Amino acid sequence: MAMPLESPISFTNVGRIRWWQRGIFASQTGYVLLALLVLLIAMHFASPYFFTQGNMQNVAKNFSFIAIATLGITFVIITGGIDLSVGSMMCFSAMITSMVMSGLSTPGMPGAFLFVHLAADGKTVVANVPGLILLVSILAGLVVALIGGLVNGFCIAVLGLSPFVTTLGMLSIVRGLGYVVSNGRGSFPGGPDADYFYALTSGDLFGVPAPFIYLLILAAVMAIVLHHTSFGRHVFALGGNEKAAELTGIPVIRVKIKVYVICALAAGLQGIIVSGWLGSAPANMATSYELNVIAAAVIGGANLAGGVGGPLGAIVGCVLLEVIRNGLVLAQVSSYWQQALVGVIIILAVLVDRIRSRIT
Amino acid sequence: METAGAAGQPVLELTGIGKEFGAIRALHGVDMQVFPGEVVGLMGDNGAGKSTLVKIIAGNFRPTHGEIRFDGNTVHFYRPIDARAVGIEVVYQDLALADNLTAAANVFLGRELKRKFGPFAFLDHNAMAVRALELFGELRSETRPYDLVKQMSGGQRQAVAIARTRLSNAKLVMMDEPTAAISVRQVEQVLGLIHRLKEQGVAVMLISHRMPDVFAVCDRVVVMRRGEKRADKSIRDTSPEEVTALITGAKEAA
């Protein structure tokens, strides 16, 4: 061959991609973030109450109530899947957590003697080890979510069922089980550890709502996992080209099961936190929340076709939804308009991204 | 050019390979040997059984009949990863690239370089980019490791797919139509790479429709027709005309 192979390569024909054409600047997340900033400024001029500390705390708390689940479903969406069972899973986990907590705190219930005893007055219930009931009940809630996620993952990755149909079934199954175990009644976190529970879920730290702190920690962990571990790389590869992922030896089945488990666990945790804020876990809690969660992820730039998405986008999507809701309330617009507007924004966000990718 | 390892042990030895898909007989009684440092052209018309044969060697399908010996040992591949473990690399025709990832990420897909921090292992982006750039340099491909594959030209994508096979110490590299969709200059580069593989004692199997490419780099040509091997000749003892006749069936066997 005439071609010398050892000389160093030059990039005479291949230009460097400009900074505004790559990374966040070229992503839907970037555009939506920009839109959000504009909206925040507009809100500031529209209502003097918007940037008050109380309102900001409210906004931060409210969007945190769907944002953790949105982080979870973003994993699934990046692989090109979908999980419709998020809302039901939130409810079921919350329910199990509060039922276990009440159960273990009631002397006479099976197993309760390990955790509580009656004080000398014969009425007050005292925990043997403070905080243990809380820990066990939260773990119980997460374990049922884990099982739900494993079943989803098994059906989709091993049996090859469609994610849409599998998780649609799971939506119904989990909601049904919720009604079965509670007999249709709500359950309330009770007992000596309930105060800890409320402090952890609806309390705040230096004025910052606790759910918001969890959200930030989980988002940071997610960013590291997605971009700096081989699992994260495989999640993106799966969404980009599943056949290629398989041919290059990526453990496709294991990665798929993991993303559905992560999604279910995030939903379970989210449900437990929401129930702390509500003060109960009603059987119809978080009904149709899966749609809000998916909408937030999609607005934030996760691509339902797979391969694109991230924690920043998930959070930006949730914030945008909440700011619009909050803004409509402050502007005294009927709250019924909110839902219609959310729909318009979903379509707009995807449309803008489509136009952008046509142009460049 | 003398067939490099003709006296030695074949790296790949197929005996009586056959494959049926239900009632369809895709392959029948294929015997074949490939020696280290040898470039074998596998030719045949569409439906002749080339792809099936490649997929059997690559571990995508299991043969219905016959035996595969690799490096002197009988091997059974259940998944492509098994074939890769013994030293068989494949460049697929559709390249098996994930468009949403960077060039370096694609090269290292499934075998990422990692750095340990206590119990956690994180991707070593820098080391992967450096190694990928080295490989692209060897291929004379102007490809930046951090560019996304979806923004690349056909030749760059080909380079990424070929660079993958250079990561491990492959003993046999199979290329499925590597020169079908790229420019003249890039064809030259790919053929140059095949020569480099050969110099390093790697056996190459080139599946191609392009007669000039096969005659430019191959030591030996194997012609398939209707699921059977019809010819297995040194490139010096044949001509493009004869090979064409064998492919079309104008000449039954040689």
Query: Which pLDDT score is estimated for A173?
Result: 95
Q: How far apart are CA A87 and CA A73, in angstroms?
A: 11
Per-residue pLDDT of A63-75, as tens digits, reads 888 999 999 999 9
Compare A218 and B96 and report the one with higher pLDDT.
A218
Query: Which pLDDT score is estimated for B22?
Result: 84
Q: Which residue of A has its CA nearest to B147?
A: A17
Average pLDDT, integer, range B113-127 = 89
Q: Which of A234, A236, A249 minimises the CB distance to B100? A: A236
Q: Which of A3, A9, A230 minimises the CB distance to B136? A: A9
Q: What rounded mean pLDDT belongs to chain A?
A: 85
Query: Which pLDDT score is estimated for A205?
Result: 82
Per-residue pLDDT of B172-210, as tens digits, reads 999 888 777 677 777 887 788 788 788 888 899 999 888
A233 vs B101: CB contact, 8 Å cut-off? yes
Chain B interface test: which of A10, A14, A225 (most B C-beta within 10 Å)? A14
Average pLDDT, integer, range A253-269 = 96
pLDDT at A222 over 90: yes
3-state SS string over A119-184? CCCCCCEEECCCCHHHHHHHHHHHHHHHHHHHHHHHHHHHCCCCHHHHHHHHHHHHHHHHHHHHCC
Per-residue pLDDT of A40-60, as tens digits, reads 888 888 888 888 888 888 888
Note whether ipTM > 0.85 here.
Answer: no
What the block records as the tokens of B167 is 């990561």
User: Angle formed by the axes of helices A86-104 and A163-182, to 10°?
Assistant: 30
Average pLDDT, integer, range B150-163 = 82
Looking at domain B9-87+170-254, its CATH architecture is 3-Layer(aba) Sandwich (3.40)
What the block records as the tokens of A121 is 């007055």
Count of A-B CB contacts under 8 Å: 98
In words, the CATH class of domain A56-359 is mainly alpha
Q: How far apart are CA A224 and CA B148, in angstroms?
A: 20
Band the pLDDT of A156: cuts 50, 70, 90: very high
Burial group, residue B86, by CB count within 10 angstroms (0-12, 13-18, 19+)? middle
Q: Which residue of A has its CA nearest to B186?
A: A3
B109 vs A14: CB contact, 8 Å cut-off? no
B98 vs A228: CB contact, 8 Å cut-off? no
Q: What is the 8-class DSSP label of residue A20?
A: G
Q: Which of B90, B123, B189 minimises the CB distance to A3? A: B189
Query: Which pLDDT score is estimated for B4?
Result: 44
Chain A residues whose beta carbon lies within 8 Å of the beta carbon of residue B196: 5
pLDDT at B79 over 80: yes
B144 vs A11: CB contact, 8 Å cut-off? yes
Query: Which pLDDT score is estimated for A331?
Result: 80
Query: Which pLDDT score is estimated for A22?
Result: 64
pLDDT at A8 over 60: no
Q: Which of A11, A224, A249 minimises the CB distance to B110? A: A249
Q: Quote the minimal CA–CA distance from A248 to chain B in Å.
A: 6
Q: Quote the minimal CA–CA distance from B3 to chain A in Å.
A: 18
**CA angle, residues A23, A27, A30, in degrees to nearest 5:** 95
Domain boundaries, chain A: 56-359
Q: How far apart are CA B231 and CA B218, in angstroms?
A: 15
Query: Which pLDDT score is estimated for A3?
Result: 42
A250 vs B164: CB contact, 8 Å cut-off? no
Question: Which residues of chain B does CATH 3.40.50.300 include?
Answer: 9-87+170-254
Q: Which of B98, B99, B123 minimises the CB distance to A245? A: B98
What is the bridge-based pairing of β-strands A116-118 and A125-127? antiparallel
Residues of B with CB under 8 A from a CB of A: 80-81, 84, 90, 92, 94-101, 105, 109-112, 114, 120-123, 125, 136-138, 140-144, 147-148, 151, 156, 164, 188-189, 191-192, 195-196
